[in-house]
Amino acid sequence: MNFQFDVNGVYAFRGHNGQYVTRYCRNNLQNLEACKPQVDQFCRFKPSARVLPGGQVVYGFMADNNRHWCAVNRNGVVKVECDQGEITPYCFFGIQVGQNFGSYVQVALTSGGRYVSLFTRNEYQYALEVAKDVPDEWCWLQVFRVDRAISMPPQLHQQYDFTFDPNRTYTLKGNNGQFLTRFHRNGMDNVEACKSNPDQFCCFRFSTFHTSDGRKKVAMLADNQKYLTVYNRNGVRKIECCKGELDHFCLFDVQAQSTWGNTARIAFVHDGQYLTLYTREGVQYQWESCKPMADEWCWYTLQWN
């Protein structure tokens, strides 16, 4: 689709972790990190544009400190910082445009032929770096125009309709970058986000149902042909792959925040509690239904072939 930044506008960027990109002074450097739940003055950026000889339009962005974004090589790590006074070629970024959702557009930024991505390194969490040859979910930024009230960012829970294909298998990747998998532990078939590469234990099928009041719910079937269910174990509402027949505890509400290509950003809810990755008693990133409000650990990257 066609999208261009308006050089008279002001924009905010939201990352895959659900947080807004902000100017953040860390170790005397003016970093750009996705760590703000709401837009403030440090999250507002003014674009500029330049047309390259081949006709490509590239963009620069100025922060609230009147300094430009710039790709800076620090010991082999190409960070994006906002402390450049004089604009240089390293201050301009190409854009790859994804889907338009009305109130925001998905955009991936490039510099020197590589994609800008949220990256966690040492004390830096979700910092912008020029780091990837192929874009993934961490390279896509949701772009909002914030100088016009009609285009203010929607809340995190805004939903988009998503339809599962019962003939496909799907994988889910958590906020820790690992795929959810059926994992046999202590005699139970848990669901844990612990696989760096998906295998057959990470593949799930979805069936869609409609309740008497018209709400859409889904059931998830694991590779062992058992349904995922909320299982109360000593007050902990775990997700396990252990039900041969469907019941109320196997049906989940779905919230889809965005979709692009063969990927969607999605959350699941059971009885008002979001399914989240949780570390408890030495078990890391097991799936539980225990949060009344969604945070970054409740959102998953859904992928299919």
**Given a cut of 60, is residue 155 above it in pLDDT?**
no
**Residue 5 forms part of a structural domain:** no
What single string gives the DSSP state of each residue in 232-299? EETTEEEEEEEESS--GGG-BEEEEEEEETTEEEEEEEETTEEEEEEEETTEEEEEEEEESS--GGG-
What whole-number distance in Å separates Cα of residue 95 and Cα of residue 109? 5
Give the tens place of pLDDT for each residue, 84-106: 998 999 999 999 998 776 667 88
* Amino acid, single-letter form, for residue 4: Q
Report the C-alpha gap between 242 and 85 in whole angstroms: 60
pLDDT band at 151 (very low <50, low <70, confident <90, very high): very low
H or E stretch at 57: strand 57-62
Q: Are residues 75 and 145 in the same domain?
A: yes
Helix (H, G, I), strand (E, B) or coil at 42: helix
pLDDT per residue over 166-207, tens digit each? 999 999 999 888 999 999 998 999 999 999 999 999 999 999
1 belongs to a structural domain: no
Enclosing domain of residue 214: 170-304
**Number of helices and strands (H, E) in the chain?**
0, 24
Q: For 30-49, write each residue's pLDDT tens digit.
A: 999 999 888 888 999 999 99
98 with 105: CB under 8 angstroms? yes
> Of 94, 120, 151, which residue sits at a domain end?
151
Task: Please report whether residue 231 resides in a domain.
Answer: yes
- Please tell me whether residues 58 and 123 are part of one structural domain: yes
The verdict on 114 and 230 lying in the same domain is: no
Q: What is the pLDDT of residues 203-241, one digit of tens each?
A: 999 999 988 777 889 999 999 999 999 999 988 999 999
- The DSSP output letter for 152 is P
Separation CA 302–CA 172 (nearest Å): 5
Per-residue pLDDT, 257: 72
- CATH code, 264: 2.80.10.50
